[in-house]
Amino acid sequence: MKKLFFTGLFIVLVGILVLNSYSTSSDAKEIKIGVTLGLTGPGSQMSIQQKRIAQLCEDWINSKGGITIEGENYQIQCIFEDTKNNTADSATAATKLIFKDGVKFIVGGAVPDFIVAIASVTEKNKVLYVPGQIDRLHPDKPLLFVGSYSYVSPIPGLYETMLQLFPDVKTMGYIIEDETGARAIGGISQNIAKGRGLTLLEPLIHPWETKEYSPQWTKLISMKPDAVDIGIKMPDNSASCVKQGRQLGFKGPMIATTSLDPILALNMIGKDYAMDVIWPAFDVNIPNAPEMTKQIVKLWASSHKDPIDADGINMWDNLWVLTQAISKAQSLDPTKVAKTWENIQTVETSRGPAKMGGAKTFGINHMVFRLCPISRMRNGQVEFVRWFDPWVP
């Protein structure tokens, strides 16, 4: 009789535990976060990896309990929309996420014109938007935050590094994409070069999305520059530009503003042409990589066979810093989250603690400044050169 009693009690207790477990998982609420990425079209390779990294980050955050707001647990759910890497579809993607899926928070985007298109939808609909990199922050967009420093921020470090490694450089040539953001970044690069006493040659404008750079290189080489700044481009375009310049005989150093992953860069450019390119990126597998980066690399390796790169990890940071701001605000109201976030001093990122900044420069404290890596291609290999602090007040 006693045995039957304890057996019955055991069954009841197991039943309660199972029911409690089911209740806990089903009672957890969801925070829908829209993710806008160019999953098709030019440059889609990077976005496809970023989608998988966003899913990895989503699982990681949820495995740690998600986000607790006023005592209630929330699991995050990423909802993806393809921008097709063009302006019109970027706006359409944001519209779908807001009106079809009901999201109040969106992350993703790296091309300035596409980001502006998305922000034009999110801002008027009171949705908080966190793209990767942009230089157009302004107080009239209080719900726009930048999850990583802008494309402009590393440029002083790139020129400083180039002149340390190649002190004989006196004249700079430029190949600039015919895109609004790329033109603006090219102009800032020229101003920084002037400030360092360099002589500037006439910048050559290249059609956006076209991968043939021979006409620009042929004309530029005839001007005899000591070094060339190839500016900001899609990853495959950056690789094409470097390779074609070397094939046509240019032997001087190049600066690239694109944060192209080193391994991907070497594969696309070819080791025979990968020499003296200085750009803001690093191999995430280097021994002295930041600890959080190492953790992400291990998480990735446990479920993926292909390598992970720093461009992909940018998406991790966009999503992670947003969830930190939501948690700090203890609210799902985008306006309240924004007000809280702009008063936060630091956030955690894949590269360690990052400072918020931009209040003086842009009139609004909405940019995350992680440490910026600077690497150099040399004799078909990649050398990590330094960490640069890109913070601006």
Q: Which residues is 204 bridged to in the sheet?
A: 175
**Is 3.40.980.10 the CATH classification of the domain at 155-258?**
no
C-alpha dihedral, 214 to 216 to 221 to 224, nearest 10°: -170
Strand boundaries in 124-193, DSSP class E? 128-130, 171-177
User: How far apart are the C-alpha atoms of 363 and 140, rounded to whole Å?
Assistant: 9
Pairing verdict, β 105-107 and 128-130: parallel
**C-beta separation of 27 from 99 below 8 A:** no
Q: What is the pLDDT of residue 27?
A: 64
Q: What is the pLDDT of residue 198?
A: 98
**C-beta separation of 268 from 245 below 8 A:** no
Under DSSP, the state recorded for 350 is T
Residues of the chain within CATH 3.40.50.2300 domain(s) are 26-151+288-371, 155-258
Spans of the chain below 50 pLDDT? 1-26
Burial track 217-239 (b if 16+ CB lie within 10 A, e otherwise): beebbeeebbbbbbbbbbbbbbb
Burial classification of residue 160, based on how many CB atoms lie within 10 Å of its CB (0-12 exposed, 13-18 middle, 19 or more buried): middle
Under DSSP, the state recorded for 162 is H
DSSP-derived 3-state class of residue 231:
strand
Burial track 330-348 (b if 16+ CB lie within 10 A, e otherwise): ebbebeebbebbbebeebe
Q: What is the pLDDT of residue 180?
A: 86
Query: 43 vs 205, 342, 365, 383, CA distance in Å?
Result: 20, 31, 30, 25
Structure tokens at 321: 């810093």
User: How far apart are the C-alpha atoms of 234 and 256, rounded to whole Å?
Assistant: 11
Q: Find where tokens 């966009």 sit.
A: 318
Q: What is the pLDDT of residue 109?
A: 87
Of 372, 330, 334, the closest CA to residue 355 belongs to: 372
User: How far apart are the C-alpha atoms of 314 and 259, rounded to whole Å?
Assistant: 10
Query: 5 vs 2, 10, 16, CA distance in Å?
Result: 5, 9, 16
Compute how many other C-beta atoms are within 10 angstroms of the C-beta atom of residue 58: 20
Structure tokens at 12: 């009841």
**Fold for domain 26-151+288-371?**
Rossmann fold (3.40.50)
Structure tokens at 318: 């966009």
Q: What is the pLDDT of residue 4?
A: 40
DSSP-derived 3-state class of residue 236:
helix
**C-beta separation of 228 from 255 below 8 A:** yes
**C-beta separation of 192 from 172 below 8 A:** no
Rounded (10°) angle between helices 310-329 and 291-301: 110
